[in-house]
Amino acid sequence: MASPVALSATSAPQAAPVVTGLPDFTDLVDKVGPAVVNIRTTEKAQQSQGEMGADDQQMQEFFQRFFGMPMPKQAPAPRGRKQVPQQQEEIPRGVGSGFIISQDGFVLTNAHVVDGASDIYVKLTDKREFKAKVIGIDKRTDVALIKIEGSKLPKATIGDSDKIRAGEWVIAIGSPFELDNTVTAGIISAKARDTGEYLPLIQTDVAVNPGNSGGPLINMRGEVIGINSQIYSRSGGYMGISFAVPIDEAMRVADQLKTSGKVTRGRIGVQIGEVSKDVAESIGLSKAEGALVVHIEAGSPAEKAGIQDGDVILKFNGQPISKSSDLPRIVGAIKPGSKAVVTIWRKGALRELGVSIAEIEAEKTAQKADKKGKKDQANVLGVYASELSDAQKKDFPGGGVVIETVDGAAAAAGLLPGDVILTLNNVDVKDVKQFSAMVAKLDGKKAVALLVRRGNLSQFILVKSQAQ
């Protein structure tokens, strides 16, 4: 029998290092704090006879609280007596935050802090107050550039939001609930959180409340890496999730606002949706990626380039499109008038198309389709289809059929009367006769991928056919 072997001290598992303390933010606050400003905005409101001023509002509250009734209204002026002219009264509108990015007084903040304000007042930590003017506002990114008249002002150091990491410590400085120079701390929860906005936001657990908007998010090197912009809340107050605009994008916007007062972005004229796993499998993609084209604006660069409803854009100018929200940011960063190459997936094959970039503008609304034509008999999908009307044939030169009524599998899949079926399993649908012939050959055990136009949007809908 083998003798037991003694374990040496060195062979024991090493204990993980223990965190013995928390970071000290005092030096960061001393460094960045003087460049953070409080922003107070006002607006001018017309006050005519009968409208309540501040004193009247206090009296109204007095009557309501102690007598349980509203204050009696003033009687209107007798006929023939001169009316009191309307007066413009400057009333408080809101409070936010910002930070100075140049010694001559350029200040970054959120667009929603200053948009619509009559006057903007900027107060520094040394109690100096300046009246500011708006240089430019970009609502898509919620970034605004304003200017105060000064020299040798304290300025913030700008960092690189591309280099941030989830889990690193950050602090916010701002004026929540009008409490100037409030410092809160936390960590970065996610680097690029899609929230439905134009660009991905930095998610943190730093306490951010009304009044923090526009203030800086600061890393442990004392660099600004974001602009605190939004909170997720069911109560209106902080609930552990806040969002900041990445400083890299904010500075690109600020440069354009400083130069021209507006931001110019590229567009190609498509509406897009996500590619689900089921859709990817049904159209032959190896994984769910790219941006699904659901609508093409008439006369747009996309239409001229030959992009079609149902195409999946996988790359734009060589840049991969992992999810649909990547596309507008990539296209938006390209200068209007430039040329680009679009890589698409169409009917089981890759294609490359050249497209010219236009300047972004309001989207046009497509007209609603007419619903007339010869009906088809019920098919195994549970679809009653009809031919396109003359008007629809102009909108769909490649053909299609109109759904009149649905039941069974089609109804369960979400198909609706008025939907136009454009393709079936990646094959163009020309007319009712051809559609019926294709449906008759379907395997009742396999899902069917239909490209459907609904209103002005196109989408893939998966239907599990029912054998009869």
- CATH T-level fold of 266-359: Pdz3 Domain (2.30.42)
pLDDT tens digit sequence for 426-439:
889 988 888 888 88
**Per-residue pLDDT at 153:** 95
Task: Kindly indicate the confidence band of residue 222, based on its pLDDT and cuts at 50, 70 and 90.
Answer: very high
Mean per-residue pLDDT of the chain: 81
Cβ neighbours for 342, distance < 8 A, ≥ 6 positions apart: 268, 305, 307, 313, 315, 316, 352, 353, 354, 355
**Per-residue pLDDT at 90:** 66
> Has 112 been labeled as part of a binding site?
yes
Domain 383-464, classified CATH 2.120.10.30, yes or no: no
Coil, helix or strand at residue 428: strand
Cβ neighbours for 54, distance < 8 A, ≥ 6 positions apart: none
Task: Kindly indicate the confidence band of residue 15, based on its pLDDT and cuts at 50, 70 and 90.
Answer: low
Mean pLDDT of all residues in 255-284: 90
* 34: amino acid identity, one letter: P
Mean pLDDT of all residues in 362-369: 32
Task: Kindly indicate the confidence band of residue 75, based on its pLDDT and cuts at 50, 70 and 90.
Answer: very low
Task: Kindly indicate the confidence band of residue 7, based on its pLDDT and cuts at 50, 70 and 90.
Answer: very low
> Has 142 been labeled as part of a binding site?
yes
- In angstroms, rounded to a whole number, what is the distance separating the alpha carbons of residues 405 and 415? 9
Adjacent-strand bridge partners of 454: 457
Mean pLDDT of all residues in 191-200: 75
Q: Which helix (H) or strand (E) holds 383?
A: strand 383-387
When mean pLDDT is compared across 6-10, 225-229, 295-299, the lowest value belongs to 6-10
366-378 core/surface letters (b: 16 or more CB in 10 A; e: else): beebebebeebeb
> Has 138 been labeled as part of a binding site?
no
**Per-residue pLDDT at 232:** 72
Domain segments of the chain as ranges: 24-53+87-263, 266-359, 383-464
Going by C-alpha positions, the residue among 438, 377, 382 that lies closest to residue 415 is 382
**Per-residue pLDDT at 465:** 56
DSSP 8-state assignment for residue 373: S
- In angstroms, rounded to a whole number, what is the distance separating the alpha carbons of residues 186 and 172? 9
**Per-residue pLDDT at 371:** 38
Cβ neighbours for 151, distance < 8 A, ≥ 6 positions apart: 103, 104, 105
- CATH T-level fold of 24-53+87-263: Thrombin, subunit H (2.40.10)
- Is the fold of 266-359 the same as that of 383-464? yes
- In angstroms, rounded to a whole number, what is the distance separating the alpha carbons of residues 438 and 459? 20
When mean pLDDT is compared across 96-110, 302-316, 450-464, the lowest value belongs to 450-464
What the block records as the tokens of 257 is 């606002």
DSSP 8-state assignment for residue 198: S
Coil, helix or strand at residue 462: strand
pLDDT tens digit sequence for 374-422:
445 446 677 878 888 877 888 888 889 988 877 777 777 788 888 899 9
Task: Kindly indicate the confidence band of residue 66, based on its pLDDT and cuts at 50, 70 and 90.
Answer: very low
- Residues designated catalytic: 112, 142, 213
Task: List the helix and strand counts (H, then E) for the chain.
Answer: 10, 27
**Per-residue pLDDT at 367:** 30
Q: Percent of the chain at pLDDT above 90?
A: 39
**Per-residue pLDDT at 255:** 94
